[in-house]
Each structure stands twice: as C-alpha cells, then as structure tokens.
Amino acid sequence: MSNWISWQDHCPYCGEPIELLLDPGVADPGMSLTYIEDCQVCCRPIVVMLHVDEHGNHDCQLKMESDS
C-alpha cells in the first residue's frame, strides 16, 4: 500500500492555497509524470508535473493548462 504525500502549493489561476495528494507509487525513481487536476477553489484545470529523483524525493510543479 502506498503512503500518500501531501503537497501544498498555490493555484496558478486564482492564487489560493491548495493541497494535492500525490501517490508516490505512480512514478519510479528518475521518472516524471504529468497530469491535470482541477483546482479545489476555482475548478480550473491545473497541469501537475510530478518528478521523482533517483533517491525517491518528490518535486511537484503546477502551471496553467494554457502554459503547457
């Protein structure tokens, strides 16, 4: 069973703080994953770019769908 990781950031559209739950099992070390998730506040589509480095550390970047 995966241990979900809480990632807090701000929506690139409305600027409100949001929390994403990242599943560490979705990407192997050294891999990246990109998907779309709606903002919990303004409901606009956010492009989520998750990267897992070779040590298993997660980095997440959010951007507007029009920036992709």
- Single-letter amino acid, residue 34: T
User: pLDDT tens for residues 25-47?
Assistant: 776 788 888 999 999 999 999 99
- Single-letter amino acid, residue 50: L
Q: Is the pLDDT of residue 68 over 70?
A: no
Residue spans per domain, the chain: 5-67
Q: Is the pLDDT of residue 1 over 50?
A: no
Q: What is the average pLDDT value for the chain, to the nearest integer?
A: 88
Reported as a pLDDT band with limits 50, 70 and 90, residue 49 is very high
Dihedral, 51, 52, 57, 59 alpha carbons, nearest 10: 10
β-pair partners for 18: 9
Q: What is the pLDDT of residue 44?
A: 97
Q: Is-above-0.85 flag for pTM?
A: no
